[in-house]
Structure 1
Amino acid sequence: MGSDLPNNGAIAEVIAEAFADIGYQVSFEFYPWARAMEQAQLGRVDCTGLWLKTDSRESEFYFSEPVLEEKHVFFYNRADKPILDSFEALKLYSYVGLEDFSYGLDLDNIIRAKQINMHRVSNDKQAFGMLLKNRISIYPQEMAVGYYLLRQDFSEQDMKKIAHIEQPFM
């Protein structure tokens, strides 16, 4: 999904069609993650999409059946490949993540317990920029989204500096 994509992207088309089937016409507004959540919590928008289902979110919102299957991976700078072969190894690295973004129950619990250090930023461009400058070691992100964003916001030379751990964390 994205305001710069034809028809706001494939998932937006699925959402629009689902609502059209029950007699509703939708319009999309795009916000950073934290603001999108706030808009929905305050009732300023009727729906918000592409959120990972968590217990706390489920207590506030209704969720549809899944419309997308994703593969979340750890991105890193090729100059300093992390070795993530155990839970203890996770603690050796610095992370960047998006504000108010859920990385799944397991990783969220590790972050909340301060077992890993995660610096929060408001957008992916900042996160990948920190990774490129070696200010952090790891950026967890959905694989296809991550590479799409790299192609959109960074040079080919910068893109060659970034890779991902093959084994998804979620």
Structure 2
Amino acid sequence: MLLACVGGASVRAETLRIATGELPPYASSDRADQGMSLHIVRQAFAKAGVQVEYVFLPWTRALVETRDGKWDATAAWGRNAERDKGFLVSDNVLTEQWQILYRSDRNFTWSSLQDLAGLRIGVVADYSYTPVFWRMVKDGTLRADVAPDDVSNLNKLLAGRVDVVPLDRNVACDLLGAKFTGEQAHRVRAHPKLFVPDFTTHLMMSEKLPASAKRLEAFNRGLKALRQSGEYGKILQQQPCAADLAQALQGG
């Protein structure tokens, strides 16, 4: 069987099944590359001589079934100490830029999570956000209005049913450009302060699978090689966003 060498170590070629969910442009069954994050994961494994197949599932199911060992890995997830239990976690695949979206017809500013008290915050239950955010929701300091997905939250924002929506900049741009009219999209603004200063995302493998440790080592070597080759940077540059939308989502 074909062997590939990365960083002086040989890795037996194989095909891994990776559970994921829908989060365009990072993970999407509708894109030829299946999303920016998944493309990075695929190319990093390719550097190690490993092929991958993606299985798209609801995010929670992808997590639970991977932890149980049904799938070889799941991607890509923000760090969460409670959720990470039972997993080996990779180096950073991609850093997302989470901001707070609001309607252009209202004045909004914030400097700490406490400033969001009293506002209706549109969230998706499966998302990481931050541990502090979820603790403040649990203790009643913050009011979370849960939706099944980001499109639902954006619709609620436009309809005035929630006041703000934390969302990654690239996800917001992708959804506003693809799922909403121009008039609707331009009613959305993003506060320039990052909701999460350093939102890294990761590949995770179950501790129950004996091969996980060596596979994760191979992935991390491949990811490092991908960065050093310049290919990683080129992948990041392939996410287009209309200039006017980009300006609004940069707080302009």
Same fold? TM cut 0.5: yes
Aligned to 2:96: 70
Is 1:108 matched with 2:122?
Answer: no
3-state SS of 2:39 partner: helix
What is the DSSP-based 3-state SS (H/G/I as helix, E as strand, rest coil) of the residue aligned with 1:8? Answer: coil
Q: Is the 8 A contact 1:37 1:48 kept in 2?
A: yes
Q: Are 2:37 and 1:24 aligned?
A: no
Q: Is the 8 A contact 2:38 2:76 kept in 1?
A: no
Q: Which has the larger radius of gyration?
A: 2
1:73-112 paired onto structure 2 within 5 Å: 73-112=99-138
Identity %: 24
Structure with the higher strand share, 1 or 2: 2
Shift of the alpha carbon at 1:18?
Answer: 2.1
CA distance in 1 between partners of 2:59 and 2:140 (Å) = 22
Cα–Cα, structure 1 residues 119 and 87, in superposed 2: closer, same or farther, change >3 Å? Answer: closer
| Pick aligned residue for 1:11 from 37, 42, 66 | 37
Letter in structure 2 aligned against 1:150: L
Matching residue's letter, 2:60: A
The amino acid of 1:68's aligned partner reads: L
| Alpha-carbon shift at residue 161 of structure 1 (Å) | 0.8
Q: Structure 2 length normalisation: TM-score?
A: 0.62
Counterpart of 1:33 in structure 2 is: 59
Structure 1 residue 112 displacement after superposition: 2.7
Contact 2:118 2:143 in 1 (8 A): no
SS at structure 2 position matched to 1:96:
strand
TM-score (norm 1): 0.90
Flag structure 1 segments of 5+ consecutive residues without an equivalent. Answer: none
Is 1:135 matched up with 2:142?
no
Residue matched to 1:56: 82
User: 190, 193, 215: which one pairs with 1:164?
Assistant: 190
- Report deviation, 1:84: 2.0
Q: Matched residues in 2 for 1:31 and 1:123: separation? A: 13
Taking the aligned partners of 1:160 and 1:131, their CA distance within structure 2 comes to 13
Q: Return the alpha-carbon distance in structure 1 between the equivalents of residues 100 and 119 of structure 2.
A: 11
Distance 1:13 1:86 in 2: 34
Do structure 1's residue 43 and structure 2's residue 72 form an aligned pair? no
CA distance 1:148–1:30, change in 2 (3 Å): same
Which consecutive aligned stretches of 4+ in structure 1 deviate over 4 angstroms post-superposition?
A: none
RMSD of aligned Cα (Å) = 1.8
Greater displacement, 151-160 / 97-106: 97-106
Instruction: Kindly provide the amino acid, as one letter, of the partner of residue 17 in structure 1.
Output: Q
Structure 1 residues 87, 98: closer, same or farther in 2, change over 3 A? closer
Unaligned runs of 5+ in 2: 1-26, 197-252
Deviation, 1:75, is 0.7
Aligned length, in residue pairs: 170
Secondary structure at 2:40 match in 1: helix
Q: Is the 8 A contact 2:100 2:167 kept in 1?
A: yes
The residue that corresponds to 1:123 in the other structure is 149
Rounded to whole Å, the distance in 2 between the matches of 1:58 and 1:76 is 31
